[in-house]
Structure 1
Amino acid sequence: MGPIDFDQPFDYIVVGGGTAGLVVANRLSENSNVRVLVIEAGADKTADPLVLTPGLVAGLYGKDEYDWNFISTPQPSLNNRYINQARGKMLGGSSALNFLMLVYPSKGNIDAWAEVGNKSWNFEALAPYFRKFATVHAPPAPAKDLLGLNYVDEGKPAGDGPVHASYSEGYNATNKAWFDAFAELGLEAKSDPRDGTALGAVQNHATIDPSTHTRSFSASAYYTPEVAKRPNLVVLTETLVTKVLFDASSGSEPIATGVEVLSKDGQRQRISASVEVILAAGALQTPQILELSGVGGRELLEKLGIPVIVDNPNVGEHLQDHPIVCQSFEVADGVPSADVLRDPNVLQALLGLYTADGRGAGPLGESIISIAYSPLVDGSGVASPHTASKLLAEHEASLTTPSARAIRNLISSPTEPTFQYLLFPSQIHIPSNPASMADYIIPVLPENYITVMTILNQPFSRGSVHASSADPRAAPVWDPKYNDHPLDLELLARGVQFVERLVDPNGAFGGKVLKKGGKRLPELKADELETAKEIVRQRQISVFHVSGSCGMRPKEDGGVVDERLRVYGVKGLRVVDASVFPLEPVGNIQSVVYAVAERASDLIKEDRAQK
């Protein structure tokens, strides 16, 4: 590529070359007459073995060249612990350092987006885009032989999207026991999750290319060498966007005209956009960029000395995140655990296997996490409708917003997943002030463990993220306010009590996988509800699904963007990332970020055609 002409305006400037940003840039630049610029603060790591090798993900966390590595404010409901939030700082964004889990939301969950004020957003509207972004590979014979996977509809179209979604050949007896345990408890999956059902134990796809056993993420999928050759697409890395520029001289709404950037060597430059600026910097940094640009709450902006372009105090508010409670259990002798990777000799042997023939053989090219969805459960199993309605009725006075009412209805339904459970193959540690996510997942104790994780799919609590300074290099202040709504702690504690059913030594999972009388982290047993709440306080962290901080909903209901993802109060500015989600999606949100970005690309094309 020759020198880039920044004096000529681009049609579109995409701020953030992450999971969503590269989707939008790819789709808009399909039209050779449209000139697109992507600006990414991190570097291009698409050929980096640490990024590409699924089993080496722990090596990315806390390193400035890969990870923004945010830390929360102290969380009162979690014994004042600080919570780490890994965020991808490279092309591909967080799809380059996530745990590769591809799951699908429930129909009821996405239909609730319409119920809270977005009539054109429901499951039916988004369904084609779940098919568009991925190629779904059929399960290999060893996976079917071991796990059954009878619910998988192999007649469904595989799709031909650029992201590869596959199953592993390395599932083991622990995964099998997981499926057996949920079947024993009446939670066997009956239908393919791609149809909008999310109930029972399922083997999730992983975003791994089965031909190479490498990570399939937005940079490798949407910014291929062929796409990179497009003369109308420019990708600028290691460049920080400091603010969006506006023309406020017209007397009507201010118009976004471009961005100001800060290069790696400290040079500031202005770059023009003739049609739109599209923010895709993620749920923690998109609100920060808006505020740095003068779009946000007047009180905060004046305190930071930033001129107010649009006074909208909803920017950075209504932040949602899935809380996840991690309980680790010592496994019986001979049961597989990824804790063996603490031995450098084991790791070297597996690396040798992975690199030997160029096909990525062995565990480092696989993901063996399994999941399960459940309605409201507790220590007795699946909770009765009476139990659910009684618990919700106790908090009815606080469930007044459209979002809270929508979540209440989902939790009341026996066919909607209140919880997601994860079977994680190693031990988890929860320090009070982690230096990075690596502190959570690198083995410390000599015994071998697995971890059962409890996720609350639809939290009532709402946090915030805001610029801390007018300096764009300063990290935003992230306060997730976990369990700020008391119902979240009540629900999570009941979900933790259900784990005791899973690990029961007489059950299909506990009896076959766990060491009799073995250690557990924490040592507490959730026989009583109050003890379960203490487990939450000690062992809850983030599952890295922050969303909703620039919510799509009517402005009077707290919205920042409209149904076409346009920022209220200005022209020529859109947001396309997880910050627009009006309600947290069920399960891991990667699939929804891709699908929303694909649909947003079509909306942007439609709006251009109508001008």
Structure 2
Amino acid sequence: MASSETPFDQLDKPFDYIVVGGGTAGLVVANRLTEDSHVRVLVVEAGADRSSDPFVLTPGLVPAVYGKDEYDWNFKSPPQSTLNNRPIIQPRGKMLGGSSGLNFMMLLYPGKGIIDAWAALGNSGWDYDSLAPYFRKFATVHAPSQATQDIVGLTYHNEGLAAGDGPIQVSFGEGYGPNNKAWMSAFAELGLEVSTDPRSGNAIGAFQNPASIDPKTKTRSYAGNTYYSPEVAKRANLVVLTETVVSKILFDTTSADVIATGVQVVTKDGVKKQVSASHEVILAAGAIQTPQILELSGVGSKDLLEKHGVSVVIENPSVGENMQDHAIVVQSFEVADGVTSGDVLRDPNVLEALVGMYQASGDGPMGQSTISVAYAPLVDGSGLVAPEAKAEFFKSHETSLSSPGQKAVRSLLESPNGTAFQYLLFPTQSHSPANPASMADYLALTEPENFITIMTVLNHPFSRGSVHITSGEVGAAPLWDPKFHQNEVDLEVLARGVQFVERIVAPTSPFGKLLKTDGRRLPEIVADDLEKAKEIIRERQISVYHLSGSCSMLPRDQGGVVDERLRVYGAKNLRIVDASVFPLEPSGNIQSTVYAVAEKAADIIKEDHAAAVKAV
């Protein structure tokens, strides 16, 4: 079992593979590699094993872990000049299972077009059809009940797309109600009714997504308790070190090739030890900490490394660049009397009663996720933007869209199935304080009225951020800077998406009828023109925590850090398997894509090792 007290004598013999980071992707790879009893794998995770922690397991207690050191790395950006100089909080899971242990458990699938663009950028084997089997492999999807189908209208649901028996349990809850139904109806009236199962990669419109919740236990199903289940933990060929960090990758530079030979680890007590890998070191520390570890190990920009006293092993200034994230704008609306809002949880007596109900029988909202979503093409305050107008809009900005990735996204957004936006129906109020301490501040129920929130997500950003070390020491947090709206096209597109919210909440809309006449808004601004929509963005945009791209899978001369086999350029026996390799941000919540990429990566690693053995 995972323990920071694992005897160090287990580390004296070389491992076949060392996985750096026991998060969402890292545990998938470790699980699949150790299916072969002859393969010995070490996983090094900075956090603890929280797989029996009720704050992690209880779906309704998600906010309880944010900002707490034992669960959350809780990064903070520099002030964003395009967002009224507000810093943005970035929670990251600090535990076995990583961010799959503190996300909102939403299980969505990316559009076909954006994944096909991965392949088109020079990554053979990474088109949608090649990745599709892995979206099924990681999950066991439970069919929705008839009651759920009746409420949220799952007429498009295709069970054939969900055939899989993977560790992650995926389910539709029983807590949907009139709010979810009104959401579906409102989008249908606006010409956005889903007719195709979103898992096909081609859906546009409002739909009900499932969640990574085990329907039998009503608990979070995540990498930490599925891919590293008690049965997997018993494998003699798998060693997991928790509460231990990797301070650097070890390289042999004595020959013509740079070869990764192992890692240096540091326990929570400060004990250092070097551990060898005979086959590969696999970085899976996430989009912030994977580039951090590379740079601490001497892989990155020569100027940056020398500035922090790190010897250069492989010069690649693309490490830590190309960072992407979904911008999300949160607008809360006061509900009419009698309409359900999660804001009732501000009453400690209500919260205590619901927790008690859940502990007794698993019933009630504490074991559910009732967020509904929608994918939409380019829209604005008038509704769907006509094809000619879309083309004209992007043509007017083409000088800002010059890179291959930006051109690919532009082409996608101009197409009929290009999902510019994801909308979310969130059951409580939400905030964007000027200087938040953690994500918990975004979710605090500080206003006395009852609200529900519409969230507008920019699916395909053109802006690129970065993350880099601030010191040569592993204990110093890297600097994550999302650089939201650095490319002005993002602000222009997102503002149109915010304008469209006025159509959703119009008094005559099925959704608008849930809201109190002349009720409060957060913020009070009405997006009845483009400039007001931009002001809402500046005041109310945060991150939706889908970081990717900081060690992109691209040709090296186009900003790549890994090739299509996920091998780090310039090094042998070193790969990256996490969201940092995504060349372009996929549409929607990225949990499913991380699992699918990790599953495919495990097969790639097995294939390459088998080929190497055969060649000897």
Q: Is the 8 A contact 1:137 1:158 kept in 2?
A: no
Which residue in the other structure is 2:300 paired with? 296
> Which one of 351, 354, 358 corresponds to residue 358 of structure 2?
354
1:533-548 matches, within 5 Å, as: 533-548=534-549
Which residue in the other structure is 2:175 paired with? 170
Answer yes or no: is 1:184 the counterpart of 2:186.
no
* Whole-angstrom distance in 1 between the partners of 2:453 and 2:588: 17
> Which one of 398, 407, 420 corresponds to residue 422 of structure 2?
420
SS at match of 2:566: coil
SS at match of 1:67: coil
Q: Is the 8 A contact 2:463 2:483 kept in 1?
A: yes
Which residue in the other structure is 2:601 paired with? 600
What does the per-residue CA deviation read over 1:61-82, in whole Å, with 9 as the maximum and x for residues that have no partner?
A: 0000000000001101001100
1:395-544 matches, within 5 Å, as: 395-511=397-513, 513-544=514-545
SS at match of 1:5: helix
Which residue in the other structure is 1:146 paired with? 151
Q: Which runs of 5+ in 1 are unaligned?
A: none
SS at match of 2:592: helix
Answer yes or no: is 1:234 the counterpart of 2:239.
yes
* Whole-angstrom distance in 1 between the partners of 2:315 and 2:161: 47
Name the stretch that deviates more: 18-27 or 150-159. 150-159
- Could you tell me which amino acid in structure 1 is paired with residue 590 of structure 2? I
SS at match of 2:449: coil
> Which one of 265, 270, 273 corresponds to residue 269 of structure 2?
265
- Could you tell me which amino acid in structure 2 is paired with residue 21 of structure 1? G
CA drift at 1:194: 1.2
* Whole-angstrom distance in 2 between the partners of 1:517 and 1:137: 41
What does the per-residue CA deviation read over 1:39-58, in whole Å, with 9 as the maximum and x for residues that have no partner?
A: 00000000000000000010
* Whole-angstrom distance in 1 between the partners of 2:468 and 2:268: 24
1:358-373 matches, within 5 Å, as: 360-373=362-375
Which residue in the other structure is 1:552 paired with? 553
1:179-328 matches, within 5 Å, as: 179-250=184-255, 252-328=256-332
* Whole-angstrom distance in 1 between the partners of 2:203 and 2:275: 45
What does the per-residue CA deviation read over 1:519-539, in whole Å, with 9 as the maximum and x for residues that have no partner?
A: 001100000100000001000
* Whole-angstrom distance in 1 between the partners of 2:229 and 2:96: 12
Q: Is the 8 A contact 2:48 2:94 kept in 1?
A: yes
* Whole-angstrom distance in 2 between the partners of 1:602 and 1:66: 30
Q: Is the 8 A contact 2:25 2:598 kept in 1?
A: yes
CA drift at 1:155: 4.0
CA drift at 1:11: 0.4
Shift in CA distance, 422/271, structure 1 to aligned 2, threshold 3 Å: same
Q: Is the 8 A contact 2:400 2:489 kept in 1?
A: no
- The number of residue pairs the alignment matches comes to 607
> Which one of 113, 119, 131 corresponds to residue 126 of structure 1?
131
- Could you tell me which amino acid in structure 2 is paired with residue 406 of structure 1? A
CA drift at 1:117: 1.5
Q: Is the 8 A contact 2:429 2:450 kept in 1?
A: yes
> Which one of 54, 79, 88 corresponds to residue 83 of structure 1?
88
CA drift at 1:6: 1.2
Q: Which runs of 5+ in 2 are unaligned?
A: none
Name the stretch that deviates more: 194-203 or 96-105. 194-203
Q: Is the 8 A contact 1:198 1:416 kept in 2?
A: no
- Could you tell me which amino acid in structure 2 is paired with residue 576 of structure 1? V
Which residue in the other structure is 1:337 paired with? 341
> Which one of 114, 117, 123 corresponds to residue 119 of structure 2?
114
Q: Is the 8 A contact 1:376 1:414 kept in 2?
A: no
* Whole-angstrom distance in 2 between the partners of 1:302 and 1:72: 24
CA drift at 1:116: 1.4
* Whole-angstrom distance in 1 between the partners of 2:569 and 2:417: 36
What does the per-residue CA deviation read over 1:509-557, in whole Å, with 9 as the maximum and x for residues that have no partner?
A: 102x111100001100000100000001000000000000000000000
What does the per-residue CA deviation read over 1:6-38, in whole Å, with 9 as the maximum and x for residues that have no partner?
A: 110000000000000000000000000000000
1:568-579 matches, within 5 Å, as: 568-579=569-580
> What's the % identity of the aligned pairs?
66
CA drift at 1:158: 3.2
SS at match of 1:246: strand
CA drift at 1:157: 4.5
CA drift at 1:156: 3.9
Name the stretch that deviates more: 228-237 or 151-160. 151-160
Q: Is the 8 A contact 2:161 2:200 kept in 1?
A: no
- Could you tell me which amino acid in structure 2 is paired with residue 26 of structure 1? N
Answer yes or no: is 1:55 the counterpart of 2:60.
yes
CA drift at 1:198: 2.8
* Whole-angstrom distance in 1 between the partners of 2:544 and 2:451: 19
Q: Is the 8 A contact 2:195 2:203 kept in 1?
A: no
SS at match of 2:336: coil
Structure 1 segments, 4+ long, off by >6 Å, are: none
* Whole-angstrom distance in 1 between the partners of 2:282 and 2:131: 20
* Whole-angstrom distance in 1 between the partners of 2:525 and 2:589: 28
Answer yes or no: is 1:562 the counterpart of 2:573.
no
Q: Is the 8 A contact 1:291 1:467 kept in 2?
A: yes
SS at match of 1:474: coil
SS at match of 2:571: coil
- Could you tell me which amino acid in structure 2 is paired with residue 500 of structure 1? E
* Whole-angstrom distance in 1 between the partners of 2:307 and 2:188: 56
Q: Is the 8 A contact 1:296 1:313 kept in 2?
A: yes
* Whole-angstrom distance in 2 between the partners of 1:253 and 1:321: 35
* Whole-angstrom distance in 1 between the partners of 2:607 and 2:25: 18
What does the per-residue CA deviation read over 1:377-423, in whole Å, with 9 as the maximum and x for residues that have no partner?
A: 00000101122111101111121111010000011012121100000
CA drift at 1:181: 0.1
* Whole-angstrom distance in 2 between the partners of 1:138 and 1:159: 12
Name the stretch that deviates more: 380-389 or 175-184. 380-389
* Whole-angstrom distance in 1 between the partners of 2:235 and 2:545: 33
In the superposition, the TM-score normalised over structure 2's length comes to 0.98
CA drift at 1:370: 0.1
In the superposition, the TM-score normalised over structure 1's length comes to 0.99
Answer yes or no: is 1:11 the counterpart of 2:16.
yes
Please provide the CA RMSD for this pair: 0.9
Which residue in the other structure is 1:590 paired with? 591
* Whole-angstrom distance in 2 between the partners of 1:341 and 1:471: 42
